[in-house]
Structure 1
Amino acid sequence: MGEFPERVQANMDVVLDQVCTELPNGGDHKSRRYVAEQLIEAARDGKITLGELSSAGRRAVVYLKNAPKSA
């Protein structure tokens, strides 16, 4: 993730940990990866503040909670 300044990377790490607490057991690897990918996409779009990244992370968690479960 060297494409972002240290402050942005730190914000992304904080948001990932915060929003994944809403998932069972803090989220499995696949869920955390999805959230991280959404945070990276948001940062690439210029959304780099803690608030903007938090919004993107929460949207990702809501999506995961509402996604149909595979059998």
Structure 2
Amino acid sequence: MDVILEQVCRELPNGGDHDSRKFIAEQLIQSAQAGHVSLGELTAVARRAMIELKNRPMSA
């Protein structure tokens, strides 16, 4: 999961801030706990989480 987190966060500015990395990591953990543990499944979860982050409205 660390490798996937690092790969996905490379696409974020400066490797992602703490909150972004935490959100993606939490999504990975939830997926793994649900039994989705293959590299492909976890990568897809991390990418979906990153897309969700990018589509969130910016806070004021």
Which TM-score band applies after superposition, normalised by the shorter structure? over 0.9
What's the offset of the Cα at 1:32?
A: 0.2
Distance in 2 of aligned mates of 1:18 and 1:25: 12
TM-score (norm 2): 0.96
- Greater CA radius of gyration, 1 or 2? 1
**Unmatched segments (≥5 aa) in structure 2:** none
Tell me the residue number matched to 1:8: none
Distance in 1 of aligned mates of 2:25 and 2:53: 13
Aligned length: 60
Provide the identity percentage. 62
Residues 11-26 of structure 1 aligned to structure 2 (within 5 Å):
12-26=1-15
Runs of 4+ that moved beyond 4 A: none
> How large is the Cα RMSD of the aligned pairs?
0.5
TM-score (norm 1): 0.82
**Unmatched segments (≥5 aa) in structure 1:** 1-11
Q: Which amino acid aligns with 2:52?
A: Y
* 1:57 equivalent in alignment to 2:30: no
